[in-house]
A and B are shown apart, each in its own frame.
Chain A
Amino acid sequence: MKVPLSWLREYVDVNIDVDELAHRLTMAGNEVDSIERFGHIENVVVGEVLHVSPHPNADRLRLVQVDDGDGVHEVVCGAPNVTEGQKIAYASIGAELFDAYSDEPGKTRKLRRSKIRGVESSGMVCSEKELGIGDDHDGILVLPKSSVIGTPIGDVLGDAVLDIELTPNRPDCLGVVGVARDVAALTGESLRMPTLEYEAGGPEVETLSKVTVVDGDLSPRYLGAVISGVKIGPSPSWLQERLLAIGERPINNIVDATNFVMFELGQPLHAFDYDKVADHHVIVRRAMKGEHLTTLDGVERKLDGDSLLISDPSGGIGLAGIMGGENTEISDTTVNIFLESANFNPQNNRRTAGMLGMRSEATLRFEKGLRAGLAEVGIKRCLRIIQLVAGGEIAPGLIDEWPGKGSEQEHVDLTRRDISRVMGVDYPSELVEATLRSLSFEIGSLDSGDSGDDGWRVSIPYWRSDISIPEDLVEELARIIGYDDLPATPLSGSVPRWEPGAKHAFRQKVIDALTAYGMKQTITYVAISDELEEKAPPPAPKSNGIRTVDGIKLDNPVSGQRATLRRSLRAPTLESAARNTRTWRGPVALFESGIVFGSQERDDDDPLPSQIERVTGVMTGPRNLSIWGSSEDDFDFFDAKGAVEHVLETLGLEAKFIPLEDSTYAQGGSAEVVTNDRKGTVLGSVGVVDDAIWERFDAESSAAVMFELDVEALYSLIGEKTRADNYAPYTRYPDSQRDLALVADSEMRVGDALRICTQNRLVKSASVFDVYEGGGLEEGKKSLGIRVTYQSDARTLTSEQVTRAEDQIVMRLERELGVTLRGQ
C-alpha cells in the first residue's frame, strides 16, 4: 500500500521526520518497505528576505539580502513579487535546479557562481518551476510565514511516499485513513476524519431504485444510492494527483471518486450506469452454473454456481466485489448513476477471484473481511466526493439491504488478567485506556464481578475486522506501547517428560560416522526431474513393502527440473559428485542423508505417501590429496565398502556382503549388505557404478563407487539403544599371532578363507594383510597373507595348541578351497 505523506497529513499532523515515522509504523506492525521522496533538492532551504534594493546596472533586477540560517547572502533577483519579510526557497551555489528556460521537461541545471550585470549573485531565490513543483515562473515562490529558516525545502514542499507491506489482518490500512489512525496513536496526534456530509435533493432513493439480496450469506449488507444529472469528465487535478501519487491511473470523475474512497477508507465501491440497469432493480444472487458475464476489461467470464453476481432482471451486470460488467459501465454519455457499497463474504470473494484469476484492488480488501459498518461510511463519503467532482443531485436516503444485521460481534471484553497472562506484565489502567483511545476504540468498564477481575468492554470499530478476542486487544496494546520495555524472563514451570520417537540422534550418529570417514555431507533438492532420476534409477522393488512406482508429481512445481519427488538419492548424489569432478582437484567423497518418497502398501488409509530415510554416498577421483607417500590411486570398491563397514562398526552391527544384481552398479561389482541372522534383513548395498551410468553424469573422472544404507532398517535393529551389540568382558589370557602365507586360485574368494579361519574355536580374529597377483606367481594364482590371532577365554594357549589349531585351519583351507601354504 502506497501512502503519500501529503495525503496522510489530510487526516493527521505529522511532526516527526519521515524516517522516524516509518520506523514507528514498522515497529507497530505496518512494515515500511521503502520511502520514495519527491521535491527534495540539495542545497535549497527556507530563507527570509531581509532587504531588497535596486540593481545598480539594471532596472528590472534587484539585489536581495537573504538569511538562510547560516548567514546573509546577496542574490540578484528578477522576480517582481520579491519583498522584504517573505519566506522563500533559497538555493545556494551547487543546487541542481530545474531549468525554467528549457523546453525539455525535467531538464536540470547546476547553479554556479556568476556575475549578473556586474554584480555577483551568491545563490538564487527560486520559482515554482525551478523547484519542479509547478509551471509558474512569473515570480518567486512565497512560502508560508511559519516556515522555519534553514529547513530543507523538501521538508516544506516535498512529499514522501511510504510503501507499506501490510499484513493480511489489517485491511483497514488499505486506506490512508487507517494508516493515519495508527500514526495518530503512535505520535500522540489526533485523527481528523474526512467529512461524510453531502446535500441530497429530489425524489427519495426508494422511488428510483430497488435492491434485492437473494443470497444474504454471501452479501451480508448491500447499500445503494442514486445520483442523477452528473457530468462525466476528467477529475479535477487534486483528485488526479492523489491517484497518480499512489500509481493509479485516473479514468473519469466518477470512477476516480470510487477509487479515491477505496484508497482513503478501504471500502471498495462500484458505480453503475443507472439507465442501463434494467428496471433499475439490482439483484444480488449466486450465478447459475455456466452463466456468462463480460466484465469491464472486455473479457467474457464463465461463472460457476458459487460466484456471487450482481444482476438486474435481465442478467448479470457485475461480479460482486471483483469487477463491474461492461454492459453497465460508466461512459461519456452516462447521466445517472447507481452507486454500490456492499459487504461481501471474504472466502467466497477470494475463491471466485482466484478461480477467475481476477485479483483486483477490490478483492484485496473484501477477501480480508470488512465490517458491514464500513460500507455505510464509504458510500456517504463517496457521494460527497462525486457531488464535488461531477455535480448531480443525490436522491435522499440510502437503500440498505442488511440480511446479516446483528450477526457481527460488537465488543470484546478485556480483563487485566488477559494482559498479564499473555504478556507477563501488568500495564497500568491509564496506559491501557489511553492506548485504546488513541486508536479510536470506544471503551467502557466491565462490571467488577466476583472475580474482581476488572477490565474493559471494548467496542469493535467498523474499520477493524481483525479484533475478536482479548488477545487481539493485547496485541494492540503491545504494538503501540512497544516491546522494548518488556522484561526477558526465563521459562519457569516443569520440563516435560522426555518422549522417545525421533530418529534424530540415531541419524546424527550415522552422519558423524561418515564425516569421520572423510566424507562431506550434501543436501540436494527433494524434487528432481524425471530425466535425472532415470539416469540412475531407484533400486528394483523389494520385499520390504516399499514399491517404487512412478515418482510423485507436484501439481505446481517451481520448474520442470523440480517436478517429481525423488525415489532414491542415487541420481542426485551421483550428479553432485560428477559436478564436483569438474571443479575440484582432490578426492570427491560425498553423501546425503535424506528422505526419499514412494508409495507404500498399507492397511490404514494414511493419505500421505511413504517418506523413507536413506543414506547414499558416492566416491570418485583420487583417494587422497596429492600427498607424498600416499597412494595416488582412485577410489575403488573397497573404499565404499569400508564406509559401510565403518558405519556398521560404529553402530555395533555385523553384516555380510552378498553378490547383488542391480543395474546402477557394474555387473559383478556390487554387494548387498544383509544382517548375519537368518532373516537376512537388507541394510543397503555397495558397488562400482556401472560405466554407462557414470558416463551419463558427464564427470571428469573415469569411475565412481557408491553405497546406500537403509536408515529405517538400521534404526529398527538398534531402536533407542546407541549400539546394537552388548558389552562382553574381555579375556585376561594372552593372545598369540601367526601369519599364514598362502597361495590360492585367483578366483578364490578371500572372505571364504577368512571364514574358515574364524570358525576355528581358538581363533579370536583374522585379518588380510596382503593380497598379491603377478610376477613370481604361477598364472591364475594369487598369494595371500592372513594374520590369525589365537586366544582363549579360559586359559593361556600353549604353543602346541596354537599349532594344532593352525594345522586344522590349513587342512580345511586346502580341502575346501584348494589353498596351499606358500613354498609347499
Chain B
Amino acid sequence: MSESASASTQELERAALDSLAAAESESELEEWRIEYLGRRGVLSSRLRSVGALPVEERREAGASLNRLKNRLSNAFDEAAERASGSADRRSTDDGIDITLPGRRPNLGGLHPSEMMMREILEVFNDMGFQTVEGPIVELEKYNFDMLNVPPDHPARDLQDTLWIDRESKDRVLLRTQTSPMQVRTMEKQRPPVRIVSPGLCFRHEATDATHEWQFHQIEGLAVDEGVTMSDLKGTLYEFARRIFGTQRKIRFRCDYFPFVEPGVDVSVDWDGRWVEIMGAGMVHPKVLEGVGYDSSKYTGFAFGMGPERIAMLRYNIEDIRHFFSNDLRFLSQF
C-alpha cells in the first residue's frame, strides 16, 4: 500500500486536492485521475480494505469513502473543464478569436405594411392579377357614385369620409377605399380584367388600438364571362393557404357592401377561431353597367382587405397605431 493510502480520509482528501491543483496539462490530469479514481487507484484500494474492518465500523467507513470519491470526482470534472476551456483560449493565441462579434453593415428593412403588401400582391400577381395604382385624393364619383353609393345613400355611413372640397362641382375627398380603381380600370379596359390595387385609404374615425384613420387596403377585381362566387371562394382559399398556411380554411358569411351583390365577409380559421379578414362579393350589375360592361354577359368578383390587419394577425401586433408611429423599436423587428 502506498503512503497516502494509510493516511486518514481527511488527509487523503487534502493531498488529493493539492495534487489536482498542481496538475496543469491534460496528461497530468489523467495521471491524477488514474492515481486516485482509477480502478487500481487509492480510493478503490481503500474501499476494498473496508472489508477488513470490524463489522460495526464497515458501514460508516464505506459511506465516508464513497462520499470522498464523489467529491474528488466532481473536483476532477471541474478541473478538466477548466483545462479544456483554457485550451480554447490558448488556441486563439495562434488563431482568430471567433467569439468576437462579426462585422455587419447596418440592417435596413421594409416597413411591415410594405412587406405584407408585397407578399399579398405576389400571391395575386401569380394568379394573373396585375397591380394597378390610383390617386389618394380622389373624386367622389369614383369613390362612391360609380360604386353604387349615390349621394345621400345610407351606405355612406359605413365609411366616414375626409373631404378635401365638398363645395365644388366635382367633389374631392381622401379615398375611403382602393375600390375606385375598379371603376378607373374598367373605364379603360375591356374584360377580361384581373387587378389588385394597393394603397393608402382614410376614414374619419377615432383612433384606438384597432382603428386608424389612415390605413392601407388592397382591392382585387376579376371580371370576365363566367366568373362566379365559387371562383371567388377558390381564389381567396388559395390566398389564405399562401398567406396563413396550407392548413387554413376560410369561411364566407353574408354581408353588405353596396358595390357587390351578393356580398360576403371572409374569415380565416385562426387557431380555432374565425377572424374576419376582408369584405368581398360579386360585382353589382350597376357597377358593371356604369362603366359600359354588359352585365348580362359579364360577371365579376371583388374583394378588399387591410394589410395592417393581416400583419397584426400574423405577427401578433396588439395595436394598429404602431404602424405609423415609425418607432425603430417597432420597425427593427421586421
Per-residue contact bits, chain B 192-205, to A (CB 8 Å; 1 contact, 0 not): 11100000101011
When the two chains form their complex, are residues B108 and A475 in contact, meaning their CB atoms are under 8 A apart? no
Which residues of chain A come closer than 8 Å to B219, judged between CB atoms? none
Within 8 A of A (CB), among B103-142: 103-111, 113-114, 118, 127-128, 130-133, 135-139
Which residues of chain B come closer than 8 Å to A26, judged between CB atoms? 253
- A157 interface contact, C-beta 8 A: no
Per-residue contact bits, chain B 222-256, to A (CB 8 Å; 1 contact, 0 not): 10111111110111011000000000000111111
A interface list, Cβ under 8 A from B: 26-29, 31, 167-170, 346-348, 350-351, 354, 367-368, 420-425, 469, 471-472, 474-475, 478-479, 483-484, 486-496, 498-499, 501-504, 508, 511, 514-527, 552-558, 562, 565, 576, 579-580, 583-584, 586-590, 595, 597, 607-609, 611, 624-625, 627-630
When the two chains form their complex, are residues A595 and B255 in contact, meaning their CB atoms are under 8 A apart? no
The 29 listed contacts between A and B (C-beta, < 8 Å) are A29-B254, A167-B255, A168-B157, A168-B158, A421-B228, A471-B285, A483-B229, A486-B229, A486-B233, A487-B233, A489-B234, A491-B231, A493-B224, A493-B226, A494-B224, A495-B192, A502-B130, A508-B118, A518-B108, A520-B109, A520-B331, A526-B174, A555-B162, A558-B206, A579-B327, A584-B329, A586-B328, A589-B108, A609-B164
Asked whether A523 and B113 contact (CB < 8 A) given A168-B154, A423-B228, A488-B233, the answer is yes
Cα distance, A590 to B106, chains bound together (Å)? 12
* Interchain CB contact (< 8 A) of A515 among B110, B193, B214: B110
Per-residue contact bits, chain B 316-334, to A (CB 8 Å; 1 contact, 0 not): 0000000110111101100
- B311 interface contact, C-beta 8 A: no
Which residues of chain A come closer than 8 Å to B23, judged between CB atoms? none
Return B311 CB to nearest CB of chain A, in Å. Answer: 12
Cα distance, A402 to B204, chains bound together (Å)? 40
Which residues of chain B come closer than 8 Å to A580, judged between CB atoms? 326-328
Return A465 CB to nearest CB of chain B, in Å. Answer: 11
Cα distance, A607 to B222, chains bound together (Å)? 29
When the two chains form their complex, are residues A514 and B285 in contact, meaning their CB atoms are under 8 A apart? no
Q: Which of B107, B152, B263 has the largest number of chain A CB atoms within 10 A?
A: B152
When the two chains form their complex, are residues A526 and B261 in contact, meaning their CB atoms are under 8 A apart? no
When the two chains form their complex, are residues B136 and A521 in contact, meaning their CB atoms are under 8 A apart? no
Cα distance, A583 to B332, chains bound together (Å)? 13
* Interchain CB contact (< 8 A) of A511 among B114, B169, B206: B114
* Interchain CB contact (< 8 A) of B235 among A29, A469, A491: A491
- B52 interface contact, C-beta 8 A: no
* Interchain CB contact (< 8 A) of B262 among A474, A489, A553, A556: A474
* Interchain CB contact (< 8 A) of A483 among B135, B170, B264: B264
* Interchain CB contact (< 8 A) of A504 among B110, B131, B225, B323: B131
Which residues of chain B come closer than 8 Å to A346, judged between CB atoms? 152, 154
Return A769 CB to nearest CB of chain B, in Å. Answer: 20
- B166 interface contact, C-beta 8 A: yes
Given contacts A367-B152, A609-B137, 4 further A-B contacts (CB under 8 A): A167-B255, A347-B152, A495-B192, A558-B206
Which residues of chain A come closer than 8 Å to B262, judged between CB atoms? 422, 471, 474-475, 478-479
What 7 A-B pairs come out closest when comparing CB atoms? A424-B228, A424-B230, A29-B254, A475-B262, A518-B106, A167-B256, A515-B108
Query: How many chain B residues have a CB neighbour from A under 8 Å?
Result: 92
Cα distance, A29 to B332, chains bound together (Å)? 41
Which residues of chain A come closer than 8 Å to B177, judged between CB atoms? none
Return A709 CB to nearest CB of chain B, in Å. Answer: 16
Cα distance, A422 to B326, chains bound together (Å)? 44
Q: Which residue of chain A is the closest to B331 with respect to CB atoms?
A: A520
- B302 interface contact, C-beta 8 A: no
When the two chains form their complex, are residues A520 and B228 in contact, meaning their CB atoms are under 8 A apart? no
Return A762 CB to nearest CB of chain B, in Å. Answer: 35
When the two chains form their complex, are residues A29 and B229 in contact, meaning their CB atoms are under 8 A apart? no
Return A603 CB to nearest CB of chain B, in Å. Answer: 17
When the two chains form their complex, are residues B226 and A421 in contact, meaning their CB atoms are under 8 A apart? yes
Cα distance, A420 to B108, chains bound together (Å)? 51
When the two chains form their complex, are residues B227 and A493 in contact, meaning their CB atoms are under 8 A apart? yes
Which residues of chain B come closer than 8 Å to A495, judged between CB atoms? 128, 192, 194
When the two chains form their complex, are residues B108 and A514 in contact, meaning their CB atoms are under 8 A apart? yes
Return B173 CB to nearest CB of chain A, in Å. Answer: 9
Which residues of chain B come closer than 8 Å to A29, judged between CB atoms? 253-256
Cα distance, A491 to B324, chains bound together (Å)? 36
- B213 interface contact, C-beta 8 A: yes
Which residues of chain A come closer than 8 Å to B200, judged between CB atoms? 526, 595
When the two chains form their complex, are residues B137 and A608 in contact, meaning their CB atoms are under 8 A apart? yes
Q: Which residue of chain B is the closest to A622 with respect to CB atoms?
A: B106
- B19 interface contact, C-beta 8 A: no
When the two chains form their complex, are residues A589 and B100 in contact, meaning their CB atoms are under 8 A apart? no
When the two chains form their complex, are residues B299 and A421 in contact, meaning their CB atoms are under 8 A apart? yes
Return A426 CB to nearest CB of chain B, in Å. Answer: 11
When the two chains form their complex, are residues A168 and B229 in contact, meaning their CB atoms are under 8 A apart? no
Within 8 A of A (CB), among B14-50: none
Cα distance, A697 to B120, chains bound together (Å)? 36
